[in-house]
Structure 1
Amino acid sequence: MPTSPIPQRPEWLALGGLLALAAAMGIGRFVYTPILPFMADSVPLGTGEAGLIASANFAGYLAGALAASIPALSGNPRVWFLAALLASAVTTAAMGASGSFGAFLALRFAGGLASAFVLVFASTLVLDRLRQAGRPDLFALHFAGVGAGIALSALMISAMARSEAEWQTLWFVSGAATLGFCGLAAILTAGGPSGPTPSGAVSSAPSRPLRTRFDAALVRLIIAYGLFGFGYVITATFVSAMARTNPSLQSAEPYVWLIVGLSAAPSIWVWNRVATRAGRKAALVAACLAEAAGVALTAIGSTPAVFSFGAGLVGGTFMGITALGLVEARARVETRGGNTRQILALMTASFGLGQMAGPTAAGIMHSVAGSFAAPSLAAAAALLIAAILFSR
């Protein structure tokens, strides 16, 4: 007898997706930002090395997104994202047991690969089932996991820093938190089919070949998404280090990452409301412009208040753009009859390529200019170009 793909309570499924993204993205992927200043002082790490470690994570994210797009990949999406969550917890904790630059690169690459699998497969599972349940309004709860995880990681790191915990302990506790969220996500996403679909495809919906026509509009969307990845990631990677290394901004360091997370958590709901009233295209343009302003303010802001406001703008927009971009791509592919999992993976790959380039470019420009102003302004310019492409 076939089982229903819809769990009894869609809210539980969305909450499970929230916890999965909080663990793999908010903690597993982004906790490096608040831990970086402590590693830079103690390991030690130069700005160039720190940028390469961040880029290794984003290279893994790109590789994971490309792997997730393979049509022949078989299995159940819930099994894939739970296995990837476990890998995220292990690689996060292992950072505290490592001491070499090479190990940091390898572990962050593996962690990035795991986070991409979680995003693609958890989103495939959750969005498909919520749509079937008639609850697309819960999409925002699922994607709010990234901001919630960032806020939680900021609180964890800040609390442990006040107790003078070593940087290794920060990674151990972050890995343990990810593992706990993995267990909760496994419980909350139970229900629906437990094995592969009849076609053997990993999507919870029947597998279809990718028949999307990559016309100019879709290509522009994919390119804009990659530019957005480059535009947000420099601030998202180095914002805590920016505050610590600038004497006039040091008072903002303990709470600036928390501001990013708290701004990100409700941002998808906010931008969904904007998209409902003005359309997704207009919402994407407005969010990119607001984020460009935020990135620029973190570059030129000379007071904690201005710097923090800029960080809040970045936090309040980057997940909104992430979600709206994926939903827009999904809608276009559904109209054309393509494979939704593959377009989600291709968008994620473009995003991953942009964010992989960002930290390395920032490290190079910082070594030349001696500050993060130049890379941040370059990132703001990339966001302006993305806004133009989204508008067309």
Structure 2
Amino acid sequence: MAKVAPHSLIPTITNQTLIAWIGLYCLAVVMGYGRFLFTATLPDIMSELSLSTTIAGWLASINYMGYFIGSLIAMFVPHRLTWRALMLGTLLSIVTTLLLFIPNMPLSLWYIIRLLAGIASGIGMILGSSYVIQNFSINKRSLLSTVHYAGIGVGISASAILTWWLLSLDLHFDSIWLVAGLSSLPLLLLLYAIRPNSEISAADKAKKQPSIKQTYVNFKHSLYEALIGQTKAISLLSLSYVLAGFGYITSATFLPVMAVQQLPTQTHAGLLIWLVVGVFAMLSNPLWGALAKRIGEIKTLMGLTLLQALGMFVPLWFEGAVGLYVNAAILGATFVGIVSMTLNIIKNMNPAYSNLLIGLATLAYAVGQFLGPLVTVALAGAKDNFDAGLLVAGVGLILSLILIVLFKRQLLVRSG
């Protein structure tokens, strides 16, 4: 139901299902547009601006560096300020999307905008998930969380459809980013509608805020408490997550570019392939959740990591459409599942510090994502051949799988 708050023209939404759909919309904006619309529009951006693959790779990596920074910021946001920080992060995401409509921007501004967009994505992903999921009751949390996280796949699909539609009208990336930004504006009203029920209390306002030094001391203490007795296990899982971020990002950044290279006779082949990624990301996550209930999250994570590794090798075994479409389907079907399984596993290792552990894991993933495009473009060479990048990505995912196996053994040793 919805009720009107005093002195407010915007109703307060308390219905859990509606909140889950607002969370879906939030992830579609801050992740689907803020991060992955770049992938959908990259071939047109490179063509219109005459960008090299190296510059495209750096633009991708600078966004992932921003994601790292945003994740770090989110870890230090006090719980009582979660919603306000989420609003600011979402606003920043929408503004940076709209800014790419400005014509003839120097490349330096592109780097700054993509860095800020990454920061907004990191804040929106962590704080959006934290704030939205805390509104779910225990008995509905599993189902409604699936709806919320489907927003990543919805955003990817929307980025492909939007790009396809506007390119078919002979418009280019600037118009695409403008429409994406405008279609994101209603999210601000919806997030305002799920604001906390009460304002910050006078007692909270009167509290003296800790200094930067004290904040750092508090963080060190919390980190020690979160890791105590399980440092090795958490380190293994975090390192595997670095490699997971490194492994998937080659396809997640350059798949449409590869399609344009290998399928020149198919109109908008890159966008159709990117749409496949989004559709499989939307539909697969509930399946992995059901599988995890049967065989456990760690075994499910191992299976997903192996499947994603095989997906990176498929374009090397089968050139052309078959390899690319299979890679797209496997990428979409696995990467959201890997994220959700890893975050669930690590937060359950010490529930009292779940936000801190999720933040650490997200930082690890961001490191892998930052390094991935740089390694890929370095290996691509002057001919822009992505085969070596896919090979290294697949090997990285196999190493990630080995670390997950070692992580599982470490848990058995601790429990035994």
Q: Same fold (TM over 0.5)?
A: yes
Which residue of 352, 366, 376 maps to 2:366?
352
Aligned to 1:112: 118
Query: Which letter does structure 1 place at the counterpart of 2:240?
Result: A
Aligned to 2:399: 385
- Counterparts of 1:134 and 1:36, CA distance in 2: 39
1:324 corresponds to 2:341: yes
Structure 1: runs of 5+ lacking an equivalent: 202-206
1:23 corresponds to 2:39: no
Q: Map Cα deviations across residues 267-305 of structure 1 (whole Å, 9 max, x no partner).
A: 221111111111000000011111112222234431313
1:88 corresponds to 2:88: no
Other structure's SS at 2:133 match: helix
Query: Which letter does structure 2 place at the counterpart of 1:140?
Result: T
Q: Map Cα deviations across residues 352-371 of structure 1 (whole Å, 9 max, x no partner).
A: 00000111111111126640
Which residue of 240, 257, 264 maps to 1:241?
257
Other structure's SS at 1:165 match: coil
Alignment map for 1:83-162 (pairs within 5 Å): 83-97=88-102, 99-131=105-137, 134-162=140-168
The change in CA–CA distance for 1:65 and 1:254 in structure 2 (over 3 A counts) is closer
Deviation at 1:137, TM superposition (A): 2.4
Query: Which letter does structure 2 place at the counterpart of 1:12?
Result: L
Q: Do the aligned residues in 2 keep the contact of 1:248 with 1:303 (CA within 8 Å)?
A: no
Q: Map Cα deviations across residues 58-116 of structure 1 (whole Å, 9 max, x no partner).
A: 0000011112222x646421221121111101101112215221111110000000000
1:224 corresponds to 2:240: yes
The change in CA–CA distance for 1:343 and 1:194 in structure 2 (over 3 A counts) is farther
Alignment map for 1:205-284 (pairs within 5 Å): 209-210=222-223, 211-212=225-226, 213=228, 214-247=230-263, 250=266, 252-284=269-301
Query: Which letter does structure 2 place at the counterpart of 1:20?
Result: C
Which residue of 18, 33, 41 maps to 1:12?
18
Which residue of 366, 371, 374 maps to 2:385?
371
The change in CA–CA distance for 1:385 and 1:57 in structure 2 (over 3 A counts) is same
Which residue of 74, 77, 84 maps to 1:79?
84
Alignment map for 1:294-309 (pairs within 5 Å): 294-309=311-326
- Counterparts of 1:368 and 1:42, CA distance in 2: 19
Q: Which has the higher contact order (CA 8 A, sep 6+)?
A: 1
Q: Map Cα deviations across residues 143-190 of structure 1 (whole Å, 9 max, x no partner).
A: 110000110111000000111102211111122222233333433x34
Other structure's SS at 1:18 match: helix
Aligned-pair identity (%): 27
Deviation at 1:249, TM superposition (A): 7.8
Q: Do the aligned residues in 2 keep the contact of 1:85 with 1:179 (CA within 8 Å)?
A: no
Q: Map Cα deviations across residues 40-65 of structure 1 (whole Å, 9 max, x no partner).
A: 11101100000000000000000111
Specify the structure having the higher radius of gyration (Cα).
2
Which residue of 162, 166, 172 maps to 2:172?
166
Q: Do the aligned residues in 1 keep the contact of 2:154 with 2:278 (CA within 8 Å)?
A: yes
Deviation at 1:309, TM superposition (A): 1.6
Deviation at 1:376, TM superposition (A): 0.9
Deviation at 1:133, TM superposition (A): 6.5
More deviation in 363-372 or 223-232? Answer: 363-372
TM-score, normalised to structure 2, is 0.85
The change in CA–CA distance for 1:88 and 1:298 in structure 2 (over 3 A counts) is farther
Q: Do the aligned residues in 2 keep the contact of 1:93 with 1:175 (CA within 8 Å)?
A: yes
Query: Which letter does structure 2 place at the counterpart of 1:77?
Result: T
Number of residues of Structure 1 aligned to a counterpart in Structure 2? 378
More deviation in 224-233 or 207-216? Answer: 207-216
More deviation in 33-42 or 75-84? Answer: 75-84
- Counterparts of 1:302 and 1:149, CA distance in 2: 28
- Counterparts of 1:298 and 1:38, CA distance in 2: 23
Query: Which letter does structure 1 place at the counterpart of 2:63?
Result: N
Query: Which letter does structure 1 place at the counterpart of 2:260?
Result: R
The change in CA–CA distance for 1:148 and 1:157 in structure 2 (over 3 A counts) is same
